[in-house]
């Protein structure tokens, strides 16, 4: 059973705190920690912003290709995490606490080429860290899914690949051998990455209209993974997919523990919710709490949901708690959440780069106060 609250009454409120522009469009965003955001651009640059001053405090330039993804790894004794940067077919590691204000490709401590030598157009899409920051998953335009061991720099690739572009990959919490990927072949694939083998697969059904005419294919455009095993995916035809078969109640819930299965069952369609939430592609999403998911469409509709799983009752409650349109970002490429912020980035109307920082205000609905207008 699925219940979505209706009519929508927001119980969270975020106001637009700052708009920051860059010469080239924003291609990816990552959170360093509470006070910083890392912004990658199409011109092969990476900027680190201080969220109290909104100024660039570090940059990497001249990487030679679009920065498609950034993963931040904490290092003892450093205020800034190290950055693993996907650029073209290479993964590059930078120590961002370098005394240099501006770094270049020559300053990379490690460079790992994961591309297919026979296909120079095979570029990286997403990087994803596992939960103890020892491995880095990657995916490419040719459909390859792989893992880099950060201690040895050894690369392992899955035995099978997506039939088209693979744009998303996530490790599965509490499953030290497993990850899940999503591709433009409308498939979600679940792997044992130690053995490189496919464990399960979900072919997302195409949406139809009267007469059986197919709409936009359900290409997987974005993914997010909750710390309690809920998988979310956004499709090109505007559907939100929630895989709840791998749900594990948080330790603080006090509820009845679900018996651990031999493998993660997050792609079990019997424990799946698919809901049409937009008319266009859902291109970015992230969990910032175990059950709070923020998504954005290509054209900038941002929505936050609380996902509540009741395994004993066999039900999932999906409650919309906030919705807003981006102001300056006319095409969204990336989104990060956390520390009472929603940060979304992409292109302006004239094609330059931009990202918006939305800050959570007090709970206006809870206290019965009129909600402010962010445009004022």
CA-wise closest residue to 124 among 169, 191, 172: 169
Confidence check: pLDDT of 369 > 70? no
pLDDT, one tens digit per residue, over 241-272 is 999 999 988 765 555 555 556 778 999 999 99
Confidence check: pLDDT of 346 > 60? yes
pLDDT, one tens digit per residue, over 105-155 is 999 999 999 987 677 789 999 999 999 999 999 999 999 999 999 999 999
Confidence check: pLDDT of 92 > 90? yes
What per-residue confidence (pLDDT) applies to 2?
Answer: 46
What is the CATH superfamily name and number for domain 2-366? YVTN repeat-like/Quinoprotein amine dehydrogenase (2.130.10.10)
Q: List Cβ<8 Å contacts ≥24 apart for 175-182.
A: 175/246, 175/263, 175/264, 176/130, 178/263, 178/264, 179/128, 179/137, 179/145, 179/147, 180/223, 180/225, 180/231, 180/264, 180/266, 180/267, 181/139, 181/145, 181/223, 182/220, 182/222, 182/223, 182/233
What per-residue confidence (pLDDT) applies to 76?
Answer: 87
Q: What is the pTM of this model?
A: 0.90
């Amino acid at each position: 059973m699925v219940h979505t609250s209706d009519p929508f009454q927001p119980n969270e409120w975020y106001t637009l705190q700052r708009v920051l522009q860059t010469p080239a469009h924003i291609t990816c965003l990552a959170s360093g920690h509470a006070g910083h955001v890392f912004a990658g651009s199409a011109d092969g640059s990476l900027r680190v912003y201080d969220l109290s001053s909104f100024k660039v405090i570090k940059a990497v330039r001249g990487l030679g290709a679009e920065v498609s993804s950034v993963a931040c790894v904490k290092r003892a004794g450093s205020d800034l995490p190290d950055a693993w940067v996907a650029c073209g077919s290479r993964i590059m590691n930078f120590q961002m606490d370098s005394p240099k204000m501006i770094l270049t490709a020559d300053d990379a401590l490690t460079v790992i080429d994961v591309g297919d030598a026979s296909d120079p157009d095979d570029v990286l899409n997403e990087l994803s860290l596992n939960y103890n920051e020892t491995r880095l998953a990657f995916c490419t335009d040719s459909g390859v899914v792989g893992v880099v061991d950060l201690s040895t720099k050894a690369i392992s690739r899955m035995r099978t690949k997506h039939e088209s572009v693979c744009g998303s990959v996530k490790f599965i919490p509490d499953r030290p051998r497993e990850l899940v990927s999503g591709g433009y072949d409308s498939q979600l694939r679940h792997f044992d990455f130690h053995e490189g083998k496919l464990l399960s697969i979900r072919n997302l059904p195409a949406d139809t209209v009267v007469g059986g005419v197919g709409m936009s294919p359900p290409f997987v455009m974005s993914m997010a993974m909750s710390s309690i095993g809920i998988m979310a995916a956004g499709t090109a035809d505007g559907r939100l997919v929630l895989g709840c078969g791998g749900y594990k109640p948080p330790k603080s819930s006090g509820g009845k523990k679900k018996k651990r299965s031999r493998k993660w069952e997050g792609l079990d369609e019997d424990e799946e919710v698919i809901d049409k939430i937009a008319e266009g592609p859902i291109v970015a999403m992230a969990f910032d709490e175990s059950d709070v998911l923020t998504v954005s469409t290509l054209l900038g509709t941002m929505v936050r949901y609380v996902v509540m799983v009741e395994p004993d009752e066999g039900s999932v409650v999906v409650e919309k708690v906030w919705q807003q349109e981006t102001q300056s970002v006319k095409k969204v490429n990336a989104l990060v959440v956390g520390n009472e912020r929603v940060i979304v980035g992409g292109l302006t109307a004239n094609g330059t780069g931009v990202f918006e920082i939305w800050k959570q205000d007090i709970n206006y609905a809870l206290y019965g106060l009129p909600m402010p207008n962010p445009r004022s």
